[in-house]
Homo-oligomer: A and B are copies of this chain.
Amino acid sequence: MTFDLSAYLNEKRQRIEAALDHYLPPTDAVPQTLHESIRYSMLAPGKRLRPTLVIAAAEAVGGSAEAVMPTACALECIHVFSLIHDDLPCMDNDDYRRGRLTNHKVYGEAMALLAGDALLALAFQLIADNAAPAPADRVLQTLRLIAEASGTWGMVGGQVVDMQSQGQAVTPETLRYIHAHKTGALLTASVLAGALLAEASAAQIEALRAYGEHIGLAFQIADDILDVAGDEAKIGKPVGSDQKQDKATYVKLFGLEESRRRAHAEVEAALQALAPFDAKADPLRGIARYIVEREL
């Protein structure tokens, strides 16, 4: 029997969205508008890639989805926090996200700013509340790693360098820095969080770190490709927006063909890292392939 990735992703997405609905502040609690704004962005249709990676990594080492669900939801909170802030007028100034008006276009800039802030705080509250049977020191280790991947040593750091590189000639090293930090850090942290909470061994953790880093890079290269060659309806934002903003991308630096080749090579390396794992890692294998096969 071959592994059915589509069924797996659908099932996980439904469970994750039910959990998000449970963990997010309710709209009948003060301040209502803030909670509406948070839910508007959090419950917009999405792939739920990060929380799915938390779950798939936990399952790959024998853990359960249930036990890592609060942390899975936390990773989605951090991802959406970054999207809301990235879309603000002082950043990318985007009107649309996932095919819907961006948060600040609906709720105003101040509310969008605060919704992002609240989501980042909520993420750490959820991780600390983690119902996992993991010992407290594993939870702390997980939390530390996610905090590091979210701030200046990860996502925010990558965002700053990306912003500063707009309209500049960018070296391959800088591009790699941007991608490894802006997107890669949180994807890798998602994989490691699931593994840590499910009490993976040191060797398993190192293998999953390599997997996370390779799919992180593959994901960002694929995103760069989609921005020039994708389907607008599927990516939910106008094609060519990176070019318009003169952003540093793989396609700009290496061209479309070489970028495709590199994305596939990263996926191969990710699969290679999973070689010691049994069939419980099939979801991780499927996700790695899916990342470049989305539209390329």
Judge whether A88 is part of the interface by a CB distance below 8 angstroms.
Answer: yes
Among the stretches A158-166, A219-227, A228-236, the one at the interface with B is: A158-166
**In contact, B160 and A31 (Cβ under 8 angstroms):** yes
**In contact, B157 and A143 (Cβ under 8 angstroms):** no
Q: Which residue of B lies closest to A177 (CB)?
A: B30
Report how far A53 CA is from B178 CA in the complex, Å: 39
**Chain B residues with Cβ under 8 A from A122's Cβ?**
147, 151-152
Shortest distance between the CB of A142 and any CB in chain B (Å): 9
Report how far A88 CA is from B109 CA in the complex, Å: 10
Given A117-B85, A136-B136, A136-B137 in contact, is the A144-B156 Cβ separation under 8 Å? no
Among the stretches A10-18, A33-41, A61-69, A267-275, the one at the interface with B is: A33-41
Judge whether A276 is part of the interface by a CB distance below 8 angstroms.
Answer: no
Report how far A168 CA is from B266 CA in the complex, Å: 56
Interface of A is mostly: helix
Shortest distance between the CB of A218 and any CB in chain B (Å): 23
Query: C-beta contact mask, A118-146 vs B, less than 8 Å → 1, else 0?
Result: 11111011001100000111011101100
Judge whether A148 is part of the interface by a CB distance below 8 angstroms.
Answer: yes
The size bracket of the interface on A is 35 or more
Report how far A279 CA is from B51 CA in the complex, Å: 50
Q: Which residue of B lies closest to A122 (CB)?
A: B151
**In contact, B160 and A111 (Cβ under 8 angstroms):** yes
**In contact, B120 and A91 (Cβ under 8 angstroms):** no
A-B contact pairs, 20 of them (CB 8 A): A31-B161, A31-B164, A34-B156, A34-B157, A85-B113, A90-B109, A114-B159, A114-B160, A116-B117, A118-B151, A121-B150, A121-B151, A122-B152, A124-B124, A124-B143, A124-B147, A125-B151, A128-B143, A128-B144, A136-B137
Further contacts, 14 of them, CB under 8 A, given A117-B120, A121-B156: A30-B161, A31-B152, A31-B157, A33-B160, A35-B152, A90-B108, A114-B160, A117-B156, A118-B156, A124-B147, A125-B148, A128-B143, A136-B137, A140-B143
